[in-house]
Amino acid sequence: MSFIAAAIQMSADSDKGANLERAERLVRAAVSHGASLIALPETFNWRGKRGAEASAAETIEGESVSLMARLAGELKVHIVAGSITEHVAGQEKTYNTSVMLGPDGARMGVYRKIHLFDIDLPGRVTVKESASRLSGAGVVCLASSLGAIGMSICYDLRFPELYRRLAFEGAKILVVPSCFTFPTGEAHWETLLRARAIENQAYVIAPAQFGPNVHGFSDYGNSMIIDPWGRVLGRASDQEGVVCAPIDLHYLDRVRNELPALTHAKLKA
* Whole-number Å distance between alpha carbons of 192 and 185: 10
Q: How far is CA 236 from the centre of its chain?
A: 15
Quick check: is 42 catalytic?
yes
Do the beta carbons of residue 13 and residue 47 sit within 8 Å? yes
Catalytic position from the list 42, 53, 58, 86: 42
Quick check: is 154 catalytic?
yes
Quick check: is 179 catalytic?
no
* Whole-number Å distance between alpha carbons of 203 and 37: 12
- Is 269 exposed, middle or buried, given 0-12, 13-18 or 19+ CB atoms closer than 10 A? exposed
- The string of DSSP codes covering 99-130 is EEE-TTS-EEEEEE--S--EEEETTTEEEEGG
* Angle value at C-alpha 142, between 240 and 63, nearest 5 degrees: 50
Q: How far is CA 34 from the centre of its chain?
A: 20
Catalytic position from the list 16, 58, 86, 154: 154
Determine phi and psi for 98, rounding to 5 degrees: -110, 140
* Whole-number Å distance between alpha carbons of 43 and 95: 11
Catalytic position from the list 16, 53, 113, 244: 113
Catalytic residue numbers read 42, 113, 154
